[in-house]
Structure 1
Amino acid sequence: MMDRIAELLGQLADAARHVVAQSHAADRAYENKADVGLDPVTQVDRDIETALRGLIADAFPGDSIRGEEFGRTGQGARRIWSIDPIDGTRAFICGLPSWAVLVGVIEDGAHVAGLIDLPMLDEKLIASGGKTLRNGAPVATSGCVILASARLSTTDPYLFEGTERDQFERVRGATLVTRYGLDALAYVRVATGDIDLVIESGLKRHDLDALVAVVRGAGGAIGDWNGGEDWDGGRIIAAASASLYAETVALLSA
């Protein structure tokens, strides 16, 4: 079954790339879903999710599908396919390459497989069976074990407010270097050994469900700010090692 799931994840990435290749400038114009601030969505987001939903429903008609743009179908199914058709739509509308197509597979509450596809960089990461492949080749985290040597990333320096900002600043001040604005690319780089730590807040399930299996399949650790798996809380740490994750949790809680 996991081989079939991994095969379908590859097909989903190809389908999403086809939608992007066939899109026009008008399809990339955005609407703002937010009452305050910016939460952009484009026709390409919708077209990708529609295409992916169709393929999943054909292959696994009894499964549940949960997507950013069109909600959830198949309530009560053991297996859920969680879709973010374009993670990093702000990057997409700015012509930056860090946006990704995300698909996570959750079975009986456990993240068993995931896809992070970076079409503009031609990198396709698929996790299944406890391992992560990039374009068919295994990847591994750096194995970094201490904050003093860690390369840190978060999407936006203004992501955190109040107490969360103070917590993040403690960790940032303890690390080697910090980079911003990478969206899902940051988690890819944890899996490929180029970044050691990502800390974020305010993520939705479609933002993070694909990341869990990909990071763990490369030997990394991923969980919430308290050392657990409160995925609905949206506060996520992805680290190159269990030791680095534990040190980060401890400093966030200090």
Structure 2
Amino acid sequence: MTTPDWAELTRFAMALAGASAEAILPYFRQNTAIDVKDGPVWDPVTEGDRAGERAIRRLIEQHYPEHGIHGEEYGITEGRSPFTWVLDPVDGTRSFVCGMPTWATLIGLSYEGRPVIGLMNQPVVGDMFYGNPQGAWHSYRGTTSAIFTRKGVPLDRATLGTTAPELYRSAGDQSRFQALRARAQLTRYGGDAYFFCMLAAGHIDIAMDCGLQPYDITPLLPIVTGAGGVAAEWTGGDLARGGNVITAGSQALLDEALAIIAA
């Protein structure tokens, strides 16, 4: 079988990011109407989320009509090929509705069920992080650089990032998180997908979140692993399906963190 053209597909993901940004930005800091999805926590959605996903889907359907699509806002469209695009047009909608530029558009591509290309775009800041089987990169206002996780950091000197402690909703998940937080040198909150990219770029050492959906994590895994990082679903589940995900800059640090979680 011919090897897919990862570079071309990565460029297409960048084009999708540009189209989504044009659709989303008119709604940012406009106090746009908020709908709330059903569920155990307050889960907002705006027309910015929906407009961004529609823009992405439109381009995929034009250029790769045989590809599948799994998006947060419009669900699953079955494809006729091994490729599926996995989309979260506004990851961090809570930040979006607060006017904070820590939300991001996540665009991932899975091949035969395995995440192979991932992109995170924050058009207000000008940050784009992306990864594929050849590596991971950060593009910022015209300059693109390869990124790498930092190594040799033990847990007691590690910086940990997660979205919010209250999202660890079960007693077991909360106790595991608190045990790990207590061992890390520094813990920061509120970064959403940004934390996984900061890990890939070598600025923090652990990025983790609980109860993730496939569209929350599939686009981020190629960035983390392309930069030399490692990832696990701490109950042993399939990472591509989401769940309780922890990523680290090195295997040694991940093993140390997982030992705390297991205990």
Q: TM-score range by the shorter chain?
A: over 0.9
Given that 2:13 and 2:119 are in contact with CA atoms closer than 8 Å, whether structure 1 keeps it comes out as yes
Residue of structure 1 equivalent to 2:63:
59
User: Alignment partner for residue 166 of structure 1, among 175, 178, 182?
Assistant: 175
Shift of 1:198: 1.5
Structure 1 residue 252 displacement after superposition: 0.3
- Poorly superposed stretches of 4+, deviation over 4 Å: 24-27
CA distances 1:158-177 after superposition (whole Å, capped 9, x unpaired): 11130111111111111100
The answer as to 2:165 corresponding to 1:157 is: yes
- Of 187, 194, 205, the residue aligned with 2:203 is 194
Residues of 2 paired with 1:13 and 1:179: CA distance? 27
Match status 1:20 vs 2:30 = no
Hey, what's the Cα distance between the residues in 1 that align with 2:24 and 2:241?
30
Cα gap change, 1:55 to 1:233, in 2 (>3 Å): closer
The 1:24/1:213 distance shift into structure 2, 3 A limit, reads: closer
SS in 2 for 1:4: helix
Cα deviation per residue 1:121-140 (whole Å; 9 max; x = unaligned)? 21001212331111121111
The 5-angstrom pairing of residues 1-254 of structure 1 reads 1-23=5-27, 28-75=32-79, 77-135=81-139, 136-160=144-168, 161-226=170-235, 229-232=238-241, 234-254=243-263
2:214–2:242: 8 Å Cα contact kept in structure 1?
no
Q: Work out the CA distance in 2 between the residues paired with 1:139 and 1:26.
A: 34
Whole-angstrom CA distance in 1 between matches of 2:70 and 2:237: 23
Contact 2:28-2:96 within 8 A present in 1 as well? no
Query: Does structure 1 conserve the Cα–Cα contact (< 8 Å) formed by 2:199 and 2:248?
Result: yes
Which moved further from structure 2: 72-81 or 226-235? Answer: 226-235
Q: Following TM superposition, by how much is the alpha carbon of 1:27 offset from its aligned partner in structure 2, in angstroms?
A: 7.7
Q: Aligned residue pairs: how many? A: 254
Report the alpha carbon displacement of residue 19 of structure 1 after superposing the two structures with TM.
1.3
TM-score where L is the length of structure 2: 0.91
Structure 1 position 13, deviation (Å)? 1.2
Superposition TM-score, scaled by structure 1 size: 0.94
Instruction: Indicate conservation of the 8 Å contact 1:9/1:126, yes or no.
Output: no
Consecutive unaligned residues of structure 1, counting only runs of 5 or more, are none
Contact preservation (8 Å) 2:165, 2:174: no
Aligned residues of 1:27 and 1:42 also touching (Cα < 8 A): no
Structure 1 residues 86, 246: CA separation in 2 closer, same or farther (over 3 Å shift)?
same
Q: Secondary structure at the match of 1:120?
A: coil
Question: Match of 1:215, SS?
Answer: helix
Distance 1:171 1:78 in 2: 38
- The question of whether the paired residues in 1 share the 8 Å contact of 2:218 and 2:242 is answered with no
Cα distance change, pair 227–74 in 1 and its aligned pair in 2 (3 A): closer
- Report Cα offsets for 1:189-233 as digits up to 9, x if no partner: 101111110121110011111011010011111121146634435
What residue ranges of structure 2 are gaps of 5+ in the alignment?
Answer: none
Percent identical residues: 33
SS in 2 for 1:77: coil
Structure 1 counterpart of 2:102, which letter? S
